[in-house]
Amino acid sequence: MTVLTQVLNGLQLGSIYALVALGYTMVYGIILLLNFAHGDIIMAGAYISWIVMAQLGLGPVLAIVLSVAGCTLLGVLIDKVAYAPLREAPRLSILITAIGVSYFLENGAQLVFGADAKVVPSYVDVGNVQIGAAQLSTVALITVVVTVVSTAVLTFLVQRTKLGKAMRAVSEDMGAARLMGINVNSTISFTFAMGSALAGIGAVLYSMAYTQASPTMGIMLGTKAFVAAVLGGIGSIPGAVIGGLLVGFAEVFVSAIGLSTWKDAVVFMLLIIVLVVRPTGILGRTMSEKV
Amino acid sequence: MTHSLSRRDLFKFGGLAAAGLGGASLLAGCGGTSASSSDKTIKIGVLGPFSGSVAQYGIACRNGAELYFANNPSIGDYAVELDEQDEKGDATEALNAYNKMVEDGVIGIIGDVTSTPSIAVAQASVADNLPCVTPSATAAEVISFGPNTFRACVTDPFQGKVMADFAQSQGWKSVGTIYNNGDDYSTGVNGAFVEEAGKKGISVPQQSAYQDGDVDFNSQLTTIISAGVDAIFCPNYYQDDGKIITQARQQGFSGPIFGVDGWSNIASGQYASAADLQNCYYCCSFVATNEDAGVQEFVKAYKEKFNEDPTNFCALGYDAANVLAQGIKGALDAGGDPAKDDFKQAVIDQIAKGKVQGVTGAISYDGTGDPVKSTLVISFDADGTEKVFTTIDA
Amino acid sequence: MRTQTTDKPVISLGATAGPVQRRLSMPMRYAMNALLVLAFLLVGNLLVDGGVITRYQTTVLEQVGIYIIMAVSLNVATGYLGQLPLGHAGFMSVGGYACAIFLMRLEPVFGVGARDFVTGSPAALALLVLALLFGGAVAAVCGIIIGVPALRLKGDYLAIITLGFAEIIRVVMQNVDAVLGFELTGGAKGLTGIPSYTNFVNTFAVVAVSLFVIHALMKSRHGRAILAIRDNEVAAEASGVNVTYYKTLAFVASAFFAGVGGGLYAGCVGVMAPAKFGFMKSIEILVMVVLGGMGSMIGSVLSATVLTILPEALRAFSDYRMVAYAVVLILVMIFRPQGLLGSYDFSLSRWVENALNGRLPWKDAPVAADPGDHDAKEANVHA
């Protein structure tokens, strides 16, 4: 039954990557910004959970709500403070700003909370599910289910609502969207809010599975999720999910065959290969360069 | 604004600025404690990461050293003045801090704390023949560069060997290991354990490595558990080991999980729940619940001064300070003069032949910088409280 | 990509047009600058040997030199080529390992002991030069390996792919021993026992040579092609610039000097550990470049100097340093995206010529004629 357990391991890891990758993909799709700070928003969410449950002694439901709300707020705030003044600036400047924001959040958290990892109490008391001979972790099952639901809701929002239509229009052509009477700024804010809310959900699932919050936890998670978003084709929602699962399964597979030390290298090699062979990713659209 | 300088001028300015600032901070460093500079004082350096990502270990060691010198403010006729320098866990910074201490005129250093910066300092300090006692750098190499470096803790290979002995005594026939491949401590202990286990006939069907920053160990654990092992050995730090234990229990593994002294915060910080910690063991030279009178006295004094329970690192910092102070005391008693250059060699000789009763056990040296000391194996009560399971003598 | 509208061009002709201009001949310019380099090394060496500059300060100055090389080399890819590689520390790591391993393995062949680097025997010097070049060359090869696929991609993709490559380098350094079956890099515990071959004089000799070579490269035909790509890639290609070739050239040059800087670093610290050359280190170097001014060599030199000395001087504030870095990075991007000095570079020869022609900075007329000189603080490495 090892195979079944490993598949579930891959699904769990891949689901978290996919949730985070969705946030990257949405922001990138609309303002072509690689939001380096996205991983650190998840870090903030995990710390919020820790404060609410371990410090204030409040219940897990409040912790989940406040984490998601806090992440959403933080995402919009970052956009307003750091990215909005640079809407017309060269891409390089915005990218460096994003790195600055990420660096700020990591080091700020280290200053405030210290370098040592904080233990996030468990949200729900869960046991294991017995299927045949295999014991499946309930946390893993919850993670997968929440991811599927979140993705479905997101797809509905983007495809079926007016705001979703506005988002797609802005990502297609910002100038033309403005001419059509779409409020570009509020659309961008909404995109950040949605991406960050997903990060908040990701933060809850992450701290449920890995029970710790540390200042640097967002770096690798963010980078891997970005790799996932690029693999799947940046700007594409199903692409982000496929990319996330791909990265998750690749990591689990490499570990399972005993090469876990080469895991990161394999993920980045995968990225390089995909980018060289198909620069827009698996489901990405080709955008012609405007001269 | 109106002058133009060449770049070379600027370098000179940089040099002058550095000289000026260095001098200023040196003055500032002296200002606080040496009110009675006419009296006889000696300076002792305390080097470690007090900020940055490994700050928790550095601060713990510093607290231990501070406590020791708060209890023993002078050695012989000399008042002790501490020169504390932060190296942020970085080898370059450690080297700079070391050079600065030498410039400040320290006669011995307590530090460094983590292995890579300690090696950088050990290499640089050989030429100065400056006595250095590291509280916690466990990498075998640290003491190999010259006779002037000692440590208060036991080494990676020693801990690996101790735990292989322990595994044999518990009758575990097959052990899987999971270790951090990006950390010299983990790889060092794991290597020693596997080698010793081989000699003792314990099979190690699965050694799984992971990387720095990893949080998901499920895949490795699935492989280990499916190999049908009796126990899992995870020689890492408590943050990672907490996750490993939690995830292993989530996968339904109820067998023993054991580690080494990197675990020492695992229960007090609740990195794994008390239920998950049942049937877990680790070796360590200090535990706050040790009923030994000396230990309890230390724990009480530490709590009074810092308002928290001391960790293994605090105790090792205290003992490293003790080792160095006894060495200096011996050299002074033998008629040495701290102002002279041969005093350093006298301190080194005294440390090498002395025996110190520390809170982490009796420490003595037999020709190398590695201590000969006893080790405790710790287990956990139902409520997660640590207790001494057994004591392994040196 | 950024276009230059208000800033002065990076490479200017030196003197502004005027009625009768007294010009310095090229040999004169070289001689003037070479003399200053020698004078600086000599005076510096005297101060170090005489103990006026203490050992602590010397080590810090060596690190200043190393970070000058790192910042200026990253500037080639970021400021001049207009790309954003995030794996500069990876090249530093490769160069450092290669240089140190080369040197340690060949010590017996050259009959050199650790003491010889302190006394400076000819054989030790030759070995050191070879080792630094080897370190640079290995880093340059890595630059080609990553540059060829990465440079086909734009901006963000290049950033992430170089970041990934630096991670791959870290993983390789950690695990290569297990694959090879003998000890090469020392794995996770790192490479230890590296002789301390870096000293004040050789660091700043390497700094001077590196700055000269980079400056000469950027003033040449190749340099203009690289700048053209930054300003408008499509237009440059249309004008017959071989974009792929020059992008790779700039990228490889950047990697080469990063490798040399890494080689000096290994000798300065004596330990190489793979974990120290991660993303954070790359960002530290990037902050130096961005703060000084993208495309300004003097800006990189100045900010590398300040940002290396300042943390030493302000040890008490070390907790806040990283947060301050981040805030500075964001503020600079929002309020002065071209960096503090923009793409300004000062030329000593130009200043001397201006003085010869009677246009002194404190007089009003030349300031009006050439407003860029108003902020002049620094001389360039050569005319």
B272, part of any domain? yes
Look at residue B115 and tell me whether its pLDDT is greater than 70: yes
**Is the previous residue joined to B112 through a cis bond, with omega within 30 degrees of 0?**
yes
Structure tokens at A4: 């079944």
Closest CB from A101, A268, A276 relative to C168: A268
Cβ contact, residue pair B187, C37, below 8 Å: no
pLDDT per residue over B124-174, tens digit each? Answer: 999 899 999 999 998 888 999 999 999 999 988 899 999 999 999 999 999
Look at residue B76 and tell me whether its pLDDT is greater than 70: yes
Range of the domain at A191: 17-218
Interface of B with C in 166-205 (CB under 8 A): 180-184, 186-188
Look at residue C312 and tell me whether its pLDDT is greater than 50: yes
Q: Are β-strands B257-259 and B280-284 bridged in parallel, bridged antiparallel, or unpaired?
A: parallel
Residue C194, amino acid: I
Phi and psi at residue B379, to the nearest 5°: -130, 180
Q: Are residues B246 and B330 in the same domain?
A: no
Look at residue C382 and tell me whether its pLDDT is greater than 80: no
Taking residues C348-365, report their average pLDDT: 71
Cβ contact, residue pair B5, C188, below 8 Å: no
Q: Are residues B115 and B174 in the same domain?
A: no
A241, part of any domain? no
CA distance B224 to chain A (A): 10
Structure tokens at B196: 């010793």
Please give the pLDDT value at position C353: 79
Task: Tell me if B189 sits within 8 A of B225, measured CB to CB.
Answer: no
A2, part of any domain? no
Q: What is the mean pLDDT of chain C?
A: 82
Total domains in the fold of chain A: 1
Distance CA A147, CA A15 (A): 6
Could you tell me which residue, A200 or A280, shows the higher pLDDT? A200
- pLDDT-derived band at C8 (thresholds 50, 70, 90) equals very low
Interface of C with B in 48-67 (CB under 8 A): 52-57, 59-61, 63-64
Please give the pLDDT value at position C251: 93
CATH number for the domain that contains residue B101 = 3.40.50.2300
A107, part of any domain? yes
Task: Tell me if C259 sits within 8 A of C136, measured CB to CB.
Answer: yes
pLDDT per residue over A135-190, tens digit each? Answer: 677 888 889 999 999 999 999 998 899 999 999 898 888 889 999 999 999 999 99
CA distance A182 to chain B (A): 42
Task: Give the residue from B284, B313, B334 where a domain finishes.
Answer: B284
DSSP-derived secondary structure for C77-117: IIIIS----S-HHHHHHHHHHHHHHHHHHHHHHHT--HHHH
B134, part of any domain? yes
A229, part of any domain? no
Please give the pLDDT value at position C17: 52
Q: Are residues B135 and B67 in the same domain?
A: yes
Interface of C with B in 4-43 (CB under 8 A): 36-37, 39-40, 43
Q: Are residues B161 and B267 in the same domain?
A: yes
* Any A CB within 8 A of B228 CB: no
Cβ contact, residue pair B222, A256, below 8 Å: yes
Q: Are residues B260 and B166 in the same domain?
A: yes
Cβ contact, residue pair B242, A135, below 8 Å: no
Please give the pLDDT value at position A243: 94
Please give the pLDDT value at position C174: 86
Structure tokens at B116: 């890579």
B122, part of any domain? yes
Distance CA B98, CA B122 (A): 10
| Residue of C151, C333, C336, C338 to mutate when probing chain A, most A C-beta within 10 A | C333
DSSP H or E run through C27: helix C26-49
Please give the pLDDT value at position C332: 86
Q: Are residues B258 and B360 in the same domain?
A: no
Taking residues C202-210, report their average pLDDT: 93
pLDDT per residue over B263-289, tens digit each? Answer: 988 888 888 888 899 999 999 989 888
Closest CB from B213, B215, B219 relative to A256: B219
Q: What is the mean pLDDT of chain B?
A: 85
Phi and psi at residue B6, to the nearest 5°: -80, 165
Look at residue A213 and tell me whether its pLDDT is greater than 50: yes
Q: Are residues B277 and B334 in the same domain?
A: no
CA dihedral C41→C43→C48→C49, nearest 10 degrees, is 100
Identify all chain A residues contacting C290, using CB atoms and an 8 Å cutoff.
Answer: 96
Q: Which residue shows structure tokens 């700079």?
A: B96
Q: What is the pTM of this model?
A: 0.84
Look at residue C198 and tell me whether its pLDDT is greater than 70: yes
DSSP H helix total and E strand total for chain B: 11, 16
Distance CA B120, CA B114 (A): 11
Q: Are β-strands A212-213 and A118-119 bridged in parallel, bridged antiparallel, or unpaired?
A: antiparallel
Q: Are residues B146 and B57 in the same domain?
A: yes
DSSP H or E run through B377: strand B375-380
Residue C193, amino acid: G
Please give the pLDDT value at position C316: 61
B128, part of any domain? yes
Taking residues A249-254, report their average pLDDT: 92
Taking residues B5-9, report their average pLDDT: 40
A6, part of any domain? no
B28, part of any domain? no
Whether the ipTM is more than 0.90: the answer is: no
Cβ contact, residue pair B53, A212, below 8 Å: no
Q: Among C237, C263, C247, which Cα is nearest to C62's? A: C263
| Residue of A272, A274, A289, A290 to mutate when probing chain C, most C C-beta within 10 A | A272
B23, part of any domain? no
pLDDT per residue over C73-100, tens digit each? Answer: 999 999 899 888 889 999 999 999 999 9
* Residue C84: C-alpha distances to residues C230, C289, C290 (Å): 12, 11, 11
Range of the domain at B332: 39-154+297-373
Q: Among B127, B89, B81, B123, which Cα is nearest to B105's? A: B81
Could you tell me which chain A residue has the CA closest to the CA of B252? A135
DSSP 8-state assignment for residue B174? B
Total domains in the fold of chain B: 2
pLDDT per residue over B322-362, tens digit each? Answer: 999 999 999 999 988 888 888 999 999 999 988 899 899 88
CA distance C170 to chain A (A): 9
* Any C CB within 8 A of A128 CB: no
* Any B CB within 8 A of C69 CB: no
